[in-house]
A and B are shown apart, each in its own frame.
Chain A
Amino acid sequence: MTIDQVRILRGNTFVVSDDRGDIEASAADPTGLFSFDTRFLSRWVLTINNQRLTALSTDDLQYFEARFFLVPGTGTVYVDAKQSVIRQRSVGNGFREVLAILNHADDPVDLIVRIEAACDFADLFEVKDALEKQGTYSTQVEDGRLILSYRRETFARATVISSSEPSQLDQDGLTFHIQVAPHESWRTDLEVTISVPGAGREEPFILAWQSQRAATDMAQDLQRWLDEAPRLECEWEPLRTSYRRSLVDLAALRFSPITAGGRSLPAAGLPWFMTMFGRDSIFTSLQVLPFTQELAATTLRELGLRQGTRIDDFRDEDPGRILHEMRYGEMTAFEERPHSPYYGCADATALYVVLLDEYERWTGDLDLVRELEYEARAALNWIDEYANLQGNGYVAYRRRNEETGLENQCWKDSWDSIAYHDGRLPGFPRATCELQGYAYDAKMRAARLARLAWDDSAFADRLEVEAAELKRRFNRDFWVEDGEFFALALDADGRQVDSLTSNNGHLLWSGIVEDSKAEIVVRQLLGERLFSGWGIRTMAVGAGRYNPIGYHVGTVWPFDNSFIAWGLRRYGFKDEAAIVAAGILEAAQFFDGRLPEAFGGYPRAMTKYPVQYPTACSPQAWSTGTPLLLLRTMLGLEPVGDNLVVDAALPMSIGRLELLDIPGRWGRVDAFGRGRVDTRQSTRPRDGLGRE
């Protein structure tokens, strides 16, 4: 059970404690100090004269620091304390905690201040699954430091604890015998440092790098981040709140891989997914391109450096494939999990090429397009050579690591997300429809890059021919005639997996939908089976597996909706894009501007508010990016040559909107719009298009 957890973080180093600042982790309880997917502190409990403390208040000052105001004692109705205690904690290479005790009495007071410390060095995967450790622990007291260590063969991790004031150290913690004068205070600085004991003279690189990193001024860094973002002026206050929230959360979600020289890419979610994910890092980079472009550049470089080069069944790796997830913990190190990195992801490879092109359209950075030509060609080659598992030219997936690999390698990755209308599950390989859209888009965009930067018009011609052929076949093979929508997938026998899903919206975004089918697809997306009034459901009401609180079979995902809105714009359905944007942004109000990963698919008229789907991770990167992409779609921002075209279609409720200093190849420009699309009718579920 967890009560009022407090979380602070910096990159993939984070602390989760209770509201007193204490950590009392059990095998499966996810509190502690974590770094590089390993728990470096599982017990950190403060007592004064053998008594626990009570929290008066807790301040999350910033995402990287917190302050706890406490009094000694627990369980009393009235707080009648003669002392108060302040713990201020900030994350660095581990964390630093300033512990201050204030004596409010007229007499001096003698106190025994005790901090118990211990560590289980659990891998994040072990915390999830409560697995047994195989290595050995040791504890040392030396040179005024308490050192907690763990070793399994050559794998070694340690936590070093020290204090600025002298303390008695023992195997289980630190004790201070102090006297505090009347109306005076006492303070000590506690340092908890993560380390890798040298296996020789040179330290293994990862944590050594972490500890050598200069402790930059994080507050200053956050301010600079906010200052560099475009400024939003808007009459509708909830949008200003969402925008500000997204920018701050995006700052917290930045993750700097060891090879990135301090540059950052978006991690997938905070705190448990603070690592590189192919799909999440790419989608988030795409969402935020109009606001910041450095995340996309780093994502492209770092994913490129780790692109697959060989066939490795355990990691589901193929040449050219873009990774799914990277982890650094013990289970990954000993190959009990395949995340070093794991490649079981069927969409990131095409999306990698899509991001490279979209990035160039915003920045004009041809150097990066040239630098990554090899990677882009390898990615395109993967689509044709390694993803054609059904032998029919469509991108499909089937894991080769059957123990710890992922079954569903598309964004809807839960076990029952890919189902026929009658609820049955297809066999493998599965060719989901959006994968074909991404492949089409990747080929079309790569053709542009081949002419622009790679001086290879023959390659460009070939890609365009292939893309046109793919589009033609796709519109024939995936179109469900009697339902008038695109099937979710083709099964291993080439039969349609015929449920109606939000994936149709991603198809609009990719451009693979023939113009003659676009309007009917839009009608489906905004019809009452898919549109809840808050947003478009992952799966339509009436499908066999539909469940308004099923993870990928009925909930509404804000990120999904943001790309669907982009797709609606792509095909000219501006008002419909505004309706989707309005629903999601109005939902955000119920979460203080921070959109959850998903919320229930209940009709808006029924629940009046969006019912949050319970998830451990918040903020989630692509939910954080959603308001930013919706701003783009509402304003109709589109780079055309060296100019930014603005073609606003805003919900009436938003009123006047200004987005100032949008960065790009044009320098900085401003965009304006005024709400004119009446989206109120569409908040009631009904058939048909929500046109004015």
Chain B
Amino acid sequence: MADPINEFFQKIADQGHQPLLGKVRGTVRFDLVESQGGADQWLIAIDRGDVTVAHADGSADCTIRADKTFFERLINGEENALAAVLRGTIVCSGDIELLFAIQRIFPGPPRLRQTLGGSEGSQ
């Protein structure tokens, strides 16, 4: 079975350049805490939008810690990173601006309903 977290980081690595991170320079480490203890660590280095990914530990300008199961929902668009930070579900330390920046490349949530342009709703 494919690991969605692996896929997520692999996709970022494959894309190489992220326009939404075009101004960003720095390293971000994700510490994804496993239910049986220990953490799955991913290190992302960003240089003006050029992104490299390593499945490894290492020092970072910003570390983002969350339960692995929560992170799976986050990269599915089922959770919002900034609300999670306020809640304490994600714990961030270091350069906060990097968290604000990197959450921009997380996907959006499923749509509440289809809303189209047009002239419905008039009364």
Residues of B near A153 (CB, < 8 A) are 87-89
Say if the beta carbon of A156 comes within 8 Å of chain B. Answer: yes
Rounded to whole Å, the gap between the CB of B46 and the closest CB of chain A is 14
Q: Are B82 and A340 in contact (CB under 8 A)?
A: yes
A310-B108, A493-B122 are known contacts; what are 12 more A-B pairs with Cβ within 8 Å?
A154-B87, A154-B89, A205-B92, A259-B100, A313-B113, A328-B86, A333-B83, A334-B87, A388-B117, A391-B119, A428-B121, A429-B121
Q: Say what secondary structure dominates the interface of chain A.
A: loop
Q: How far is the CA of A428 from the CA of B119 in the complex (A)?
A: 8
Residues of A near B20 (CB, < 8 A) are 309
Say if the beta carbon of A273 comes within 8 Å of chain B. Answer: no
Q: Are A259 and B96 in contact (CB under 8 A)?
A: yes
Say if the beta carbon of A374 comes within 8 Å of chain B. Answer: yes
Q: Are B121 and A492 in contact (CB under 8 A)?
A: yes
Say if the beta carbon of B115 comes within 8 Å of chain A. Answer: yes
Residues of A near B115 (CB, < 8 A) are 313, 398, 400
Asked if A156 meets B83 with Cβ closer than 8 Å, knowing A310-B108, A374-B22, the reply is no
Residues of B near A388 (CB, < 8 A) are 117
Q: List 13 A-B contacts (CB under 8 A).
A: A155-B86, A204-B86, A209-B96, A259-B96, A310-B106, A310-B107, A313-B111, A313-B112, A315-B80, A340-B80, A374-B19, A391-B119, A429-B121
Say if the beta carbon of B69 comes within 8 Å of chain A. Answer: no
Q: How far is the CA of A487 from the CA of B20 in the complex (A)?
A: 38
Rounded to whole Å, the gap between the CB of A494 and the closest CB of chain B is 7
Residue of B nearest to A196 (CB): B88
Q: How far is the CA of A493 from the CA of B22 in the complex (A)?
A: 41
Q: How far is the CA of A638 from the CA of B96 in the complex (A)?
A: 38
Residue of A nearest to B33 (CB): A200
Q: Are A389 and B80 in contact (CB under 8 A)?
A: no
Say if the beta carbon of B56 comes within 8 Å of chain A. Answer: no
Say if the beta carbon of A514 comes within 8 Å of chain B. Answer: no
Residues of B near A492 (CB, < 8 A) are 119-122
Residues of B near A313 (CB, < 8 A) are 109, 111-113, 115
A409-428, CB < 8 A from B: 426-428
Q: How far is the CA of A309 from the CA of B109 in the complex (A)?
A: 12
| Interface residues in chain A, defined as those with a beta carbon under 8 Å from any beta carbon in chain B | 153-156, 196, 199-200, 202-206, 209, 258-259, 305-306, 309-315, 317, 328-329, 332-335, 340-341, 371, 374, 388-391, 398, 400-401, 426-429, 491-494
Residues of B near A259 (CB, < 8 A) are 96-97, 100
Q: How far is the CA of A143 from the CA of B20 in the complex (A)?
A: 48
Residues of B near A155 (CB, < 8 A) are 86-88
B64-123, CB < 8 A from A: 65, 77, 80, 82-83, 85-89, 91-93, 96-97, 99-101, 104-109, 111-113, 115, 117-123
Say if the beta carbon of B11 comes within 8 Å of chain A. Answer: no
Asked if A427 meets B80 with Cβ closer than 8 Å, knowing A258-B96, A311-B108, the reply is no
Q: Are B109 and A374 in contact (CB under 8 A)?
A: no
B4-45, CB < 8 A from A: 19-20, 22-23
Q: Are A391 and B88 in contact (CB under 8 A)?
A: no
Q: How far is the CA of A314 from the CA of B110 in the complex (A)?
A: 10
Residues of B near A374 (CB, < 8 A) are 19, 22-23
Q: How far is the CA of A388 from the CA of B117 in the complex (A)?
A: 7
Q: How far is the CA of A405 from the CA of B88 in the complex (A)?
A: 24
Residues of A near B19 (CB, < 8 A) are 374
Residues of A near B96 (CB, < 8 A) are 205, 209, 258-259
Residues of A near B119 (CB, < 8 A) are 390-391, 492-494
**From B87, B93, B101, residue with most partner A Cβ within 10 Å:** B87
Q: How far is the CA of A52 from the CA of B111 in the complex (A)?
A: 56
Residues of A near B106 (CB, < 8 A) are 310
Of the candidates B85, B91, B105, B112, the one whose C-beta lies within 8 Å of that of A202 is B91
> Which 6 pairs between the two chains have the least Cβ-Cβ distance?
A310-B108, A333-B86, A154-B88, A492-B122, A427-B122, A313-B112
Rounded to whole Å, the gap between the CB of B98 and the closest CB of chain A is 9
Q: Are B83 and A205 in contact (CB under 8 A)?
A: no
Of the candidates B83, B112, B120, the one whose C-beta lies within 8 Å of that of A340 is B83
Residues of B near A200 (CB, < 8 A) are 65, 91
Q: Are B86 and A206 in contact (CB under 8 A)?
A: yes
Residue of A nearest to B79 (CB): A335
Residues of A near B93 (CB, < 8 A) are 202-203, 205
Q: Are B91 and A199 in contact (CB under 8 A)?
A: yes
Of the candidates A205, A209, A312, the one whose C-beta lies within 8 Å of that of B108 is A312
Q: Are B91 and A491 in contact (CB under 8 A)?
A: no
Of the candidates A205, A390, A426, the one whose C-beta lies within 8 Å of that of B117 is A390
**From B88, B101, B107, B115, residue with most partner A Cβ within 10 Å:** B88
Residue of A nearest to B19 (CB): A374
Of the candidates B82, B91, B117, the one whose C-beta lies within 8 Å of that of A391 is B117
Q: How far is the CA of A374 from the CA of B65 in the complex (A)?
A: 29
Rounded to whole Å, the gap between the CB of A349 and the closest CB of chain B is 16
Q: How far is the CA of A315 from the CA of B112 in the complex (A)?
A: 11
Q: Are A204 and B88 in contact (CB under 8 A)?
A: yes
Q: How far is the CA of A335 from the CA of B84 in the complex (A)?
A: 9
Residues of B near A493 (CB, < 8 A) are 119, 122
Q: How far is the CA of A374 from the CA of B18 in the complex (A)?
A: 12
